[in-house]
Amino acid sequence: MLRRVATLLVALAVTLAVTAGAAPGAPGRSASAPARPATAPSVQRTVVIGRSVQGRVIRAYYRGDPGATRVLLVLGQMHGDEGAGRSTVAWIRQNVRPPAGTGVWVIPSINPDGAARHRRSNARGVDLNRNWPTSGWRRTPKGSRYYGGPRAASEPETRALMRFLAGARPNYVASIHQPLHGVGRSGPGIAWERRLARNLGLPLRYFGVGNPTGTVSPTMTGWYNQRYRGIATTIEYGARPSTRFRTVVAGRGITRAAGIG
Decide: 103 and 71 in contact? Cβ < 8 Å.
yes
Q: Which one-letter DSSP state was computed for residue 99? A: P
CA distances from 193 to 48, 173, 185, 225, 249 (A): 29, 11, 7, 14, 16
Predicted pLDDT of residue 187:
67
Q: Which one-letter DSSP state was computed for residue 211? A: P
Please report which residue ranges of the chain form alpha helices under DSSP H: 2-20, 84-95, 112-117, 156-168, 190-200, 220-227, 243-244, 250-257
Tens of pLDDT, residue by residue over 51-93, are: 999 999 999 999 999 999 999 999 999 999 999 999 999 999 9
Measure the CA dihedral 122/124/128/132, to 10°.
Answer: -160
CA distances from 228 to 27, 165, 168, 231 (A): 8, 9, 11, 8
Question: Crossing angle, helix 250-257 and helix 190-200, to 10 degrees?
Answer: 160
Tens of pLDDT, residue by residue over 91-113, are: 999 999 999 999 999 999 999 99
Cα–Cα distance for residue pair 19/8, rounded to 1 Å: 16
Decide: 192 and 257 in contact? Cβ < 8 Å.
yes
Residue 45 phi, psi (nearest 5): -135, 150
Question: Crossing angle, helix 156-168 and helix 220-227, to 10 degrees?
Answer: 30
Tens of pLDDT, residue by residue over 242-261, are: 999 999 999 999 999 999 97
Cα–Cα distance for residue pair 38/120, rounded to 1 Å: 43
Predicted pLDDT of residue 184:
95
Strands laid side by side in the 102-107 sheet: 43-51, 57-64, 102-107, 70-75, 172-177, 231-236, 182-184, 204-205
Tens of pLDDT, residue by residue over 115-169, are: 999 999 999 999 999 999 999 999 999 999 999 999 999 999 999 999 999 999 9
Please return the burial class of 209, using the count of CB atoms within 10 Å of its CB with bins 0-12, 13-18 and 19+: middle
Q: What is the pTM of this model?
A: 0.84
Predicted pLDDT of residue 261:
74
Please return the burial class of 45, using the count of CB atoms within 10 Å of its CB with bins 0-12, 13-18 and 19+: middle
Tell me how long the chain is.
261
Tens of pLDDT, residue by residue over 5-40, are: 333 333 333 333 333 333 334 333 344 444 444 445
Q: From the DSSP assignment, how many helices (H) and strands (E) are in the chain? A: 8, 8
CA distances from 86 to 36, 76, 180, 247 (A): 30, 5, 17, 9
Statement: residue 215 has pLDDT above 50: yes
Q: Which fold has domain 41-257?
A: Aminopeptidase (3.40.630)
Predicted pLDDT of residue 40:
56
